[in-house]
Amino acid sequence: MTARDETLASLGPTARAARGPRRSGLARQDRRLGYTLVAPVVIVLLAITAYPLFYNLWNSFHHINYLDIANFGTFAGVSNYAKLFTSDQFVPALVRTIGFTAVSVLVETTIGLGIALALNRPFRGRGIVRAAVFIPWAVPTVVSAELWKTMFDPQSGFVNYILAHLHLPLATTTWLDSTWTAWAAILVADAWRNTPFMAIVLLAGLQVIPQDIYEAAKIDGASAWQTFRRLTLPLLMPALMVALIFRTLSSFLIFDVVYIMTGGGPGTSTQVLSVLNYQAFLDDLDFGYGGAIAVALVIMALIIATLYVRALRPQQET
Partner 1 sequence: MSASVAVARPGQVTGSGKRRIRPGRLAGRTGFFTLLAIFVVASLFPFYWIVITSLKTTAEYNQGTTSLLPPSHITFSNYIDDFTQQDFIRPLLNSVGVSLATTLLTVVVAALAGYALSRTSIRGKSGILGFILLAAFFPALAIVGPMFIAYKHTGLLNTLPGLIICYLILTLPLATWLLTNYFSQIPKELEEAAIVDGSTRVQALRKVIVPVAMPAIFTVAILSFILAWNDFTFAVSFITTANNYTAPLAIYNLGQSQFQVFYNLIDAAVVIISLPIALLVIFAQKRIISGLTAGSFR
Partner 2 sequence: MNVWPRGTKIRSVAVIAAGGLLVAGVAACGSSPSSSASSQVAASAKQTIVFASAGLGTEGTATKAAIASFEKLHPNIKVSLLSLSSNSTVAQEQEEHYFLAGSSTPDVLYTDVTWPSTFARSGWIANLNSLKPDTSAFFSGQMATGDYSGGVYAIPWFINAEGIYYNTSLIKTPPTTEAQLVSDAQHALATDKSLKEGLAFEGAEYEGAVTAWQSFGANISVSALSNINNSANQSALTFMYDAIHTYKISPAAVTGWEEANVQAAWLAGQTPFALNWPYIFQLSESTTNGKPTYPAVYGKTAWIPFPSSTPQTSLGGDDLAINAKSTHKAAAWEFIQYLTSSSAQDARAISAGDPPSLTAAYNATLYKAAPYYKDETAVYKAVTSRPVTPVYPQISSSVFQPMISSVLSGQETPSAALSSNAPTVSQLLATAK
Residues 13-32, interacting with partner 1 (CB under 8 A): 14-15, 17-19, 27, 30-31
Integer Cα distance of 249 and 306 in angstroms: 12
72 makes contact with partner 2 (CB under 8 A): yes
Element (H, E) at 236: helix 233-252
- Which among partner 1, partner 2, none contacts residue 174 (Cβ within 5 to 8 A by kind)? partner 2
C-beta of residue 175 within 8 angstroms of C-beta of residue 184: yes
Angle between helices 179-207 and 126-134 (to 10 degrees): 140
Q: What are the respective helix, strand and coil percentages of the chain, to the nearest 5? A: 75, 0, 25
- Which among partner 1, partner 2, none contacts residue 244 (Cβ within 5 to 8 A by kind)? none
Residues 143-162, interacting with partner 1 (CB under 8 A): 143-144, 146-148, 150-151, 155-158, 161-162
φ and ψ at residue 124, rounded to 5 degrees: -65, 140
Q: Which of 184, 214, 265, 284 binds partner 1 (CB under 8 A)?
A: 214
Residues 219-248, interacting with partner 2 (CB under 8 A): 238
Binding window for partner 1 (CB under 8 A); candidates: 73-81, 97-105, 171-179, 202-210: 202-210
Integer Cα distance of 160 and 171 in angstroms: 5
Cα end-to-end distance, the chain, whole Å: 5
Q: Which DSSP string do the residues of 12-56 spell out, in sequence order? A: -HHHHHHS-S-HHHHHHHHHHHHHHHHHHHHHHHHHHHHHHHHHH
Integer Cα distance of 273 and 254 in angstroms: 8
- Which among partner 2, partner 1, none contacts residue 208 (Cβ within 5 to 8 A by kind)? partner 1
211 makes contact with partner 1 (CB under 8 A): yes
| Residue 177 Cβ vs partner 1, minimum distance, rounded to whole Å | 18
Residues 220-259, interacting with partner 1 (CB under 8 A): 235, 238-239, 241-242, 245-246, 249, 252-253, 255-256
Q: Which residues bind partner 2 (CB under 8 A)?
A: 2, 42, 46, 50-51, 53-55, 57-59, 64, 66-69, 72-73, 89, 149, 152-156, 174-178, 238, 262-269, 271, 279, 282-285, 287, 309, 313, 316-318
